[in-house]
Structure 1
Amino acid sequence: MTAPRWFEDGRLHLGLGIEDTFVPQERPGERAIDEYELTEHYDRYREDFALAAGVGAEVLRWGVPWYRIAPEPGRWDWDWTDRAVDALLEAGLRPIIDLLHYGTPTWLAEQFASADYPQHVAEFADRFGERYGDRVVDYTPVNEPVIHALFSGEYGYWPPYRTGAEGFAAIAANLARGFVLSQEALAARIGDRATFVHVDAAISYVGDESAPEHREEAERLRHQVHLVEDLVTGRVDDAHPLRDRLAPAVTDAELDWFAAHAVHPDIMGVNYYPRHSTELFEPGVRHGGGFADPRPSVDRGTQGLREALERFAARYGAPVMVTETCVTGTVDERIRWLDASIALVESMRSEGAPVVGYVWWPLFDMYEWTWRHSDRPRADHLLTMGLHDLVESPEGLLRSANPVADRFRAYASRLVTAP
């Protein structure tokens, strides 16, 4: 009988994340965005890992910049990643590697729409597993594939700027192909020690659906949230509500391939932000999405989090983990949400729900993605979300602990041995 894996020991595992969005492509009016560069994590990674360990985090969701590791086809530059992985492990943290947190290398034409994308991302996964798999065994193959598919495929907000239902289907399908091949490559390299944390955004909708045409649209939106995960886990067949919308991006033969090559989460990660994750469905109102024309959001607090965790656990039959949550606001607002969301998770666990972890995102503040479409300095795009404030200084961005860090540390101290 094999020993339980780390998330099967009965404890609630507490963690943090470092915002790691990478969209390196530029065009007139759009700057490349690299959150590690904006937050100076490339220079301060040792300090940042020490901060995470210092507040008692056990796990750290942390991504790697594919576009820097693979600056051109066939060339691999592991220098910074080698140093960072060593420092992360030396800090005593357990990394859950975000293999893909948006963005492809700049040389990959058509990005997520490229016919070669699945093979390229799978090669990246294979080489990462070859290099680090003896020490790093927990992976998220694709963070928030629904956001990838919406921003790059339906809204035309990120490369390759596809739009509409066909764009969404094409990007979702190609992401799913790469997802499957990446997980297979990592599993082949690492074996039974590998743990796969699938992570998606807990988008939900509320609103008036009284007319039949409105009910149909609302139902499409709700199933669309799960489409990539449904594909990679082999759940899409002719009876799936979105099967017709996938044509011609996914053929019947490909559906058979997904079913035969289904990959499953060991943990299903749920990214939930109370002020943003629930969108208002308004009959007859068409939204372009992204930041140009967003749907209004509705704050459903801990009830929305409960429903998201229950929905993902039931749909995929795996333990669940809050893999991202926070509120952007004052220190008091952040502490209130930390208290409320951890209390909710503990209550669910006492009821028998399979919730194995909780990640506050992020460790320190970040910069809003609208920076990409702006010519203003980064300070104008600061989002106050973290346990540590980012403070501009002549020496660069300083990290200054705020009272949210103290509250998080107190939870970590209490939960480290609690069943």
Structure 2
Amino acid sequence: MISFMFATGIENSVPTIQNGRHRVDELEKCGFYKHWRKDFDLVQEQGIHFLRYGPPIHTTWLGDGHYDWSFADETFNDLKRRDIVPIVDLCHFGVPDWVGDFQNPDFPKLFERYAGDFAARFPWVQLYTPVNEMFICATFSARWGWWNEQLSSDPAFVTALKHIVKANILAMYAILEIRPDALFIQSESSEYFHPESPDAIGAADAFNEQRFLSLDLNYGYDVSGRMMEFLRDCGMTLDEYKFFRTKNLRHHCIMGNDYYITNEHLVHADGRTDPSGEIFGYHTITAEYFQRYRLPVMHTETNLCDGSRGEAVTWLNKEWANVLRIKRSGVPVVGFTWYSLIDQVDWDSALRENRGNVNPLGLYDLDRNIRPVGRAYKKLIADWSNLVDAQTVCLTIPVFSPSEQEEPLIIREQAKARSNRIALSKLSLSALKEPAIAESSRKLPQEAI
């Protein structure tokens, strides 16, 4: 078992743009298909044992129950050989063409089978992010009109969100059938909206409630009356809401919080938003999320462009200081991630434009040369690993490396997890039904959303 996870990631976003005419494949743009063995070498060179990575969904998942596992077999078998623990991103901002987009009501059940079949093929994998950044995926696809379905309305946003979160939950159930001790790290953007003026307070308050919706649904957290009205007005039925209330798997979850300098927003009186830059920072915003959900926390994404004044190194040190501060305040923080390993491409336009602009955000550049932030992160890991493990000796995570999978202790732990799953299933079947959610719950103060 381990106490703290230092990680990085392979950027595997695959949204479609231009009304579906073009798919953005970050694995292709960043040269991963050609250099993946070298990239895994670099992970080990950094002293990193945890890697956020997933197979390209659009070329792996060919149809319902039909797959091309060839590239996944190569890469995951090599990770296993190297004893690197993958945190598997199964769906990162896009779906295959045959699925369509996140408005498709069949997506959750289809994705459930994909996740289960992946777990059956790679039963040694224990850590998953079934759907990455659910709130951002729904926002960029169905509220801001940037990706995939490219819609711009609240009903489209809620439709995408409920399908995405349901897919995430069903995937967790399917994976647990194969790997009962699996753990799920919800990599989700931690946001905050600041009112520019008194006239913007109402809109900012609404946005600050909506930012929690993906995790509220995923963890079965009771939404406020105003958010219930918002969801109902945008087409969510009471039965759909009850699914999220009763089918969550929060006891298998680590809350992943992503934080970038763009995560805080300035809200204008007319409801428009602009980036505000860092005002509160990771510590303050993550503390709000922890107070709401009371789950172990992992800082699952951060980066900043490498500049002539060492901006990326400064940002790394600032984010690590925030992690230490929130950890010392009593929040169980179990990991930290610089995302990603290699520079990214076209994220300066949020992948909306296919320009080939290289964004110097990685620990290494696209020629696989280490950046200053790569050297700083390697030193940070070497300097802090033993201390953060010692500080959390009573908080260990039941995560096992590939080389440990056949040890008697791990086999016993998996058997215990399987027995616990069976007991919980029987308890769920025998438990009294939850009271119905009354229609009167919609009779709420008429506040603007």
1:322 Cα deviation from its structure 2 partner: 0.6
Give TM-score scaled by structure 1 length: 0.87
CA distance in 1, matches of 2:72, 2:162: 29
CA distance in 1, matches of 2:82, 2:298: 23
- 1:139 has 2:139 as partner: no
For 2:291, which of 314, 318, 325 is the aligned residue?
314
Cα deviations across residues 315-371 of structure 1 (Å, max 9, x unaligned)? Answer: 111111110011123161111111222122123323322111100011110002448
**Equivalent residue letter for 2:258:** N
**Equivalent residue letter for 2:229:** D
1:208 Cα deviation from its structure 2 partner: 3.0
Q: Secondary structure at the match of 1:187?
A: helix
- 1:207 has 2:186 as partner: no
CA distance in 2, matches of 1:48, 1:209: 47
Q: Secondary structure at the match of 2:185?
A: strand
Residue 328 of structure 1: aligned partner: 305
CA distance in 2, matches of 1:47, 1:206: 43
CA distance in 1, matches of 2:137, 2:163: 11
Tell me the matched-pair count: 384
1:41 Cα deviation from its structure 2 partner: 0.5
Cα deviations across residues 179-205 of structure 1 (Å, max 9, x unaligned)? Answer: 1111111112110x2111112101211
Superposition map of 1:338-417 within 5 A: 338-369=316-347, 370=349, 373-374=352-353, 376=355, 378=356, 381-390=357-366, 398-417=367-386
Verify the 8 A CA contact 2:7 2:51 in the aligned structure 1: yes
- 1:243 has 2:228 as partner: yes
- 1:23 has 2:15 as partner: yes
Structure 1's unaligned 5+ residue stretches are 288-294, 391-397
CA distance in 2, matches of 1:372, 1:309: 26
CA distance in 2, matches of 1:343, 1:151: 30
Q: Secondary structure at the match of 2:256?
A: strand
For 1:222, which of 196, 204, 208 is the aligned residue?
208
- 1:175 has 2:164 as partner: yes
1:169 Cα deviation from its structure 2 partner: 1.1
Residue 297 of structure 1: aligned partner: 276
Residue 159 of structure 1: aligned partner: 148
Structure 1 runs of 4+ aligned residues shifted over 6 Å read none
CA distance in 1, matches of 2:76, 2:343: 22
1:246 Cα deviation from its structure 2 partner: 1.1
Q: Secondary structure at the match of 1:112?
A: coil
CA distance in 1, matches of 2:271, 2:61: 42
Verify the 8 A CA contact 1:25 1:106 in the aligned structure 2: no
Verify the 8 A CA contact 1:24 1:105 in the aligned structure 2: no
- 1:99 has 2:90 as partner: yes
CA distance in 2, matches of 1:230, 1:168: 15
Residue 239 of structure 2: aligned partner: 253
CA distance in 1, matches of 2:344, 2:267: 29
Q: Secondary structure at the match of 2:51?
A: strand
Verify the 8 A CA contact 1:145 1:175 in the aligned structure 2: yes
CA distance in 1, matches of 2:350, 2:151: 21
**Equivalent residue letter for 2:386:** T
Verify the 8 A CA contact 1:208 1:283 in the aligned structure 2: yes
Q: Secondary structure at the match of 1:416?
A: helix
**Equivalent residue letter for 1:195:** L
CA distance in 1, matches of 2:352, 2:248: 38
For 1:62, which of 53, 59, 76 is the aligned residue?
53
1:165 Cα deviation from its structure 2 partner: 1.2
Residue 182 of structure 2: aligned partner: 194
Residue 34 of structure 1: aligned partner: 25
Residue 44 of structure 1: aligned partner: 35
**Equivalent residue letter for 2:139:** L
CA RMSD of aligned residues (A): 1.9
Cα deviations across residues 42-76 of structure 1 (Å, max 9, x unaligned)? Answer: 12111101101111112111122211111244421
1:159 Cα deviation from its structure 2 partner: 1.6
**Equivalent residue letter for 1:228:** S
* Identical amino acids, percent of aligned pairs: 27
Question: In the superposition, relative to structure 1, how do residues 375 and 92 fare at CA in structure 2: closer, same or farther (>3 Å)?
Answer: closer
- 1:268 has 2:255 as partner: yes
Cα deviations across residues 122-161 of structure 1 (Å, max 9, x unaligned)? Answer: 111111111112x110001211111111111111111212
Q: Secondary structure at the match of 2:275?
A: coil
CA distance in 2, matches of 1:271, 1:34: 21
CA distance in 2, matches of 1:322, 1:308: 12
Give TM-score scaled by structure 2 length: 0.81
Question: In the superposition, relative to structure 1, how do residues 209 and 169 fare at CA in structure 2: closer, same or farther (>3 Å)?
Answer: farther
Verify the 8 A CA contact 2:144 2:151 in the aligned structure 1: yes
Verify the 8 A CA contact 1:46 1:88 in the aligned structure 2: no
